[in-house]
Copies of this chain bind each other. A is one copy, B any other.
């Protein structure tokens, strides 16, 4: 009876810790909001803020009514592999702490997209895709990768290649998903007016930068995200069916600090070096440093509890490089991403999942998953099963990319065809706050481009 009491007390404490971690993840919504607020021009701040608030609200309701059921419904009663869950609609399932924690992940996935589409997307389109993403697209991925019934899940009773994919806190499930949706949306939506083309539609020689209105808010957003990330990565350890949750959580926190730091430093100095080579005038770009740090954080999310600290630093350094490369690539392809969410979340989401397949350590996998037989390629090279984990990781990446493209591309094309996607051109030029939120047209901050309004 005393042992039962002990088990019950421990479970209750874990539930409470899950709530605290979930609250920290929820707080990341503020981080994304501040990052967006700082990155847009003043004429669009209201619009952007409302989108950030609404996706937290919309995701909660969509995840309650449908999303949770599709992702995790019935996983405790069955070991069969399924495509989606089919019970627990309009319910929080048997464990409210688990529901709350998973909700905060789904909301994060949704809010990643907000920044990319800033300054030109209609409110109605944003609402539509938010609900579809939190209610259907994301849950299918979470089901496949994280529920006991998922075909890619490491907790499946008969996992893929004997191991399944290892995405501890969701570089793939959360960040790659959100980032890929952002890419598809901006492809259909097109760039902001005046970013890559002039008023007559001719391509500009040099893309026009649209600097945000507050670096302080951008930095605040970055640091709030980093803070929340400790709940994101360490909190995920609480879901493991092991005794050493504290140790895995601490490893995750340590790696989160180191990879973010490495990403920021790597991106800042690589960019400094490149700019000096190209222009002869080196300068320190805080935007690059912030996005580099966020890239390191995204990349370590997948393997946070199963790679050694030195590997976290390596992952972070490469994440910084990937960010710079991908960011420049997007500009060259004239793909407009108002906050660089695609390089940060999509490209480094992929790198995060992939790098776990390279660097997951057998010692730490033994602690976290009670199995050290199929570690990353770096440790397994030469074994019969050296590519098992990496194979599963690549499968996860391909699955997420494929699933998101197959479902969201037609959806955005349809929205665009209906005329619900892109804001009216004049609205865009004077700022979305005027038409959607009743602000004054007479923008006193003067960030309305008169030339384009005239050309209209």
User: Residues of A with Cβ closer than 8 Å to B?
Assistant: 2-3, 5-6, 8-24, 26-27, 29-30, 33-34, 37-38, 45-46, 49-50, 52-54, 56-61, 64, 90-92, 95-97, 99-100, 103, 123, 214-220, 222-224, 226-227, 230-231, 234, 237-238, 243-247, 249-251, 253-254, 257-258, 260-262, 264-265, 268, 283-286, 289-290, 293, 309-310, 313, 435-438
- Known contacts: A12-B246, A215-B46, A309-B92. The answer to whether A53 contacts B100 by CB under 8 A is no
Distance (whole angstroms) from the CB of A411 to the closest CB of chain B: 21
Q: How many copies does the complex hold?
A: 3
6 A-B pairs in the complex with CB atoms less than 8 angstroms apart: A8-B243, A22-B253, A37-B219, A46-B215, A92-B309, A283-B438
Bound Cα distance A21, B16 (Å): 10
- Known contacts: A5-B243, A23-B230, A61-B265. The answer to whether A15 contacts B250 by CB under 8 A is yes
A26 cross-chain contacts in B, Cβ below 8 A = 226-227, 230, 257
A46 cross-chain contacts in B, Cβ below 8 A = 215, 286
A3 cross-chain contacts in B, Cβ below 8 A = 2
Instruction: Check B100–A257 contact: CB distance below 8 A.
Output: yes
**Which of B12, B38, B265 has a CB less than 8 Å from the CB of A57?**
B265
**Which of B97, B227, B261 has a CB less than 8 Å from the CB of A61?**
B261
A96 cross-chain contacts in B, Cβ below 8 A = 247, 250-251, 253-254, 309
A216 cross-chain contacts in B, Cβ below 8 A = 33-34, 37-38, 45, 49, 214, 217
A91 cross-chain contacts in B, Cβ below 8 A = 309
Bound Cα distance A438, B17 (Å): 44
